[in-house]
């Protein structure tokens, strides 16, 4: 009995290590965007479309590649216990300007449905902290995207 339990936990550890090794920058960014999209518990079409547009535009991917990345990202969202594994990948690869741009993209997804849920704002705040961004950068990107969102209404 104990050997079965031990084997189970070992397999979990191996799977987790395998996922960490395979984590690409595109997937890391996509997972964070998906987390914001799913935060309010409503899978809004406008947010889904914004997510597709962002991923295809940022990484210059085909529709099939975008669909595959989003599918994989949603699976990772379901099993993730925190954001650190994703933000650390971004921190390793992105400059300050690129991390601020990532924050802007998170706000764009949050505002895509025309309203900002407090849970979306909370998640973006946590991600901004993990991306080592200052509070002023967090607020400035929020205000920039908020004004753009209200201008398009």
pLDDT band at 60 (very low <50, low <70, confident <90, very high): confident
The string of pLDDT tens digits covering residues 94-118 is 999 999 999 999 999 999 988 899 9
Nearest residue to 106 via CA among 126, 79, 81: 126
Question: Do the domain assignments include residue 70?
Answer: yes
Q: How many domains does the chain have?
A: 1
Domain presence at residue 69: yes
Q: Which residues of 105-126 are buried (b: 16+ CB within 10 A; e: fewer)?
A: bbbbbbbbbeebeeebbebbee
6 is a domain residue = no
Is residue 54, in this structure, part of any structural domain at all?
Answer: yes
Q: Which domain holds residue 20?
A: 12-151
What's the pLDDT tens digit per position in 41-59?
A: 877 888 889 999 999 998 8
**Considering only 14-18, 68-72, 107-111, 148-152, which range has the smallest mean pLDDT?**
14-18
Cα–Cα nearest to 110, from 126, 96, 131, 98? 126
Q: What percentage of the chain reaches a pLDDT higher than 70?
A: 85
Q: What is the CATH number of the domain that holds 115?
A: 1.10.3680.10
DSSP assigned state of 113 = T
Quote the longest CA-to-CA distance of the chain.
Answer: 62
Q: Is residue 36 part of a domain?
A: yes
- pLDDT value of position 18: 42
**Is residue 128 situated within a structural domain?**
yes
**79-96 tens-digit pLDDT:** 888 999 999 999 999 999
pLDDT the model gives residue 144: 94
Given this model, what pLDDT does residue 31 score?
A: 95
């Amino acid at each position: 009995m104990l050997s079965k339990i031990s084997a189970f936990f070992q397999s979990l550890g191996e799977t987790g290590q395998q996922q960490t090794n395979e984590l690409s920058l595109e997937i890391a960014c996509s997972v964070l965007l998906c987390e914001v999209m799913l935060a309010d518990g409503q899978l809004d079409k406008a947010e889904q479309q914004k997510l597709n547009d962002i991923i295809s535009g940022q990484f210059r991917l085909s529709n099939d590649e975008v669909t595959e990345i989003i599918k994989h990202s949603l699976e990772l969202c379901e099993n993730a216990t925190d954001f650190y594994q994703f933000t650390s990948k971004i921190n390793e690869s992105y400059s300050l300007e690129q991390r601020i741009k990532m924050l802007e993209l998170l706000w764009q997804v949050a505002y895509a449905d025309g309203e900002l849920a407090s849970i979306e704002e909370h998640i973006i705040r946590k991600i901004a902290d993990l991306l080592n961004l200052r509070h002023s950068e967090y607020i400035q990107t929020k205000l920039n995207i908020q004004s753009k969102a209200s201008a398009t209404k």
